[in-house]
Every structure is written in structure tokens, then in C-alpha cells.
Amino acid sequence: MIKQQETIVLDVRTQEDFDSGYIPGTLLIPLSELESRLDELNPSDHILVYCRSGHRSAEAASILAANGFTHVYNMVGGILQWQARAFPVYTRQATTASAEPPTLNY
């Protein structure tokens, strides 16, 4: 789903957690802000929600579904499971302005 770029990847952890490691192309909306920021998301988009282990993302997925989002997926196991499978994770310092890593040319 992520590779085909047909899915919005939504991280619902805190900014500090996000800075310590995130999935490339992720949108950060902390769980505590989700309900007030629903207008930043399209209810018809496919949204894959993740957190550290899957608990906050399950709550976020429920919030999205209750607000009319029809294609919501919870990443069971969260970023911990993602890392355990050796999928890419980017990190950055909290003071860095951009969340995206630099472009690498091979």
C-alpha cells in the first residue's frame, strides 16, 4: 500500500517520538490533536495509522471511522514491528526544520 503511494501514512505519536524515528512520507498528527485536525485529512483517502506499538493508532482509527473516514487501517505492532521487519525508518533532530530526509543520488 505504501509503496504504491495510494495511502496516507499517519503517525499519531508525539513530535518527540516522531523525531526519534518515522516511516518515510509520514504525516504527523498526534493523537491528542487528531479530532481538532480532521479537516487536514480527506475522508475518502486510504489512511494507514501507526504509533509505537499499535494502541494509540487503534484509538485514532476508531476516531477516524466515527467521523466518516471509510478506508482506515491500523498498523498492528506499530513502528516497533515495522523496524523489526527491517523496513526503513528516518530520524532527525527536533530542531531540524524539515521532516523529510535529504535526497540521495546514487
Name the catalytic one among 8, 10, 47, 51. 51
Contacts of 74 (CB under 8 A, 6+ apart): 49, 50, 54, 57, 58, 60, 61
Active site residue 72: no
Angle at Cα 90 formed by Cα 35 and Cα 37, nearest 5°? Answer: 10
CA distance 79 to 103: 23
Catalytic positions, written as ranges: 51
